[in-house]
Amino acid sequence: MADTKKIKSQSRRKEYSAPALEKGLDIIEVLAREPEGLTSAEISSRLKRPMGQLFRMLVVLQQRGYVYYEAGTERYEMTLKLFEIAQGLGPVQRLNLVAAPLMKQLAEEIGQSCHLVIYYSGKGHIVVQQNASSARVLSVRLGAEAPLSNSCSGHILLAFAEESERSKMISAIPKSHHKLTETALKATVQRVRQNGFERLPSSLIQGVEDIGFPIFDHTEAVAAVLVVPFLAYLDGSHLVNIEDAQKAIERTAQRITVGLGCKIPSKPLADQSLGQRLRV
């Protein structure tokens, strides 16, 4: 009798199988374990399925935003879409709700684009992006990655993380990414924590200086980084200089931090940076 029930149970599971869905989930699961992504041939090999069965699945997953295809390396990578869905009304969406209107004001005030970066799986990821109405802006794609070791946002995420969490973050950095030496890491963390922000030339685009300030949540843990890739105008038509822009970025980061429930002692901006005021 027990064997008969087992056979019927297996039969019912077979009746409700969805081969196409199963293939799509298999692709998502195998990519989720590979932070550096996989080529189509590698996916086919890992799943032991012919590429002909997987190609349309990959195309649909890419179109729906679950998978990103890097043409230069021919590798497929997971995006943060599943992460954001899982969060629901959690940190990412709350961050967006609080930050988006303030970032829009900032972009208009300084005439530059801005974006928010959070940490996820050994990298920074851009989760909110806002352009100014200026005719010339430099913007980044939502979901784009920011290396931890050689980017403005990466330095801030590392600097303001708890020491134990920082070690995990460094261990999770993909092999293809640059890694700071122990001495360089210590110096970077000390400098950024002391200053309360990071400002350095873009590692990707000449003539752009990235300015970033940390954003903290109600537990006073770093939740994100507000970054402006400051684009200097050669014709002098831009009225907001980089020093004034930096002050505006700090004010906006402070307002977002307060919006997330983090209490900041009221002291003039000129006296202390955001990070110093929080004593992190």
- Residue 2 scores a pLDDT above 60: no
Give the C-alpha distances (Å, rounded to integers) separating 23 from 30, 50, 61, 126.
11, 11, 11, 28
| Range 38-66 average pLDDT | 91
Strand (E) or helix (H) holding 114: strand 114-120
Task: Sketch the domain layout of the chain as residue ranges.
Answer: 2-79, 88-278
The answer to whether 44 and 54 are in contact (CB under 8 A) is: yes
- Residue 266 scores a pLDDT above 50: no
- Residue 269 scores a pLDDT above 70: no
Structure-block tokens of residue 74: 């021919």
The answer to whether 235 and 112 are in contact (CB under 8 A) is: no
| Range 253-271 average pLDDT | 70
- Residue 82 scores a pLDDT above 80: no
In angstroms, rounded to a whole number, what is the distance separating the alpha carbons of residues 88 and 22?
24
The answer to whether 78 and 36 are in contact (CB under 8 A) is: no
Give the three-state DSSP class for 30. Answer: helix
| Non-local CB neighbours of 114 within 8 Å, separated by 6+ positions | 103, 106, 107, 129, 130, 226, 227, 228, 249, 252
Residue whose token pair is 């199963």? 22
- From the options 3.30.930.10, 2.102.10.10, 3.30.450.40, 3.50.50.60, give the CATH code of 88-278: 3.30.450.40
Q: What is the dihedral of CA 45, 46, 48, 49, to 10 degrees?
A: -80
Return the percentage of the chain with pLDDT > 90, whole number: 46
Return the sign of the alpha-carbon dihedral for residues 156, 161, 165, 166. Answer: positive
pLDDT digits (tens, 9 = 90+) for 168-182: 999 888 888 888 888
pLDDT digits (tens, 9 = 90+) for 218-231: 888 999 999 999 98
CATH code, 2-79: 1.10.10.10
Which pLDDT value is given to residue 264?
Answer: 63
Q: Which long-range contacts (CB under 8 A, 24 or more apart) does 100-105 make?
A: 100/128, 100/130, 102/252, 102/255, 102/256, 102/259, 103/128, 103/130, 103/226, 103/252, 104/130, 105/252
Alpha carbon 177 to its chain centroid, in Å, reads 15
Average pLDDT for the chain: 84
The answer to whether 265 and 220 are in contact (CB under 8 A) is: no
Give the three-state DSSP class for 15. Answer: helix
| Range 245-270 average pLDDT | 80
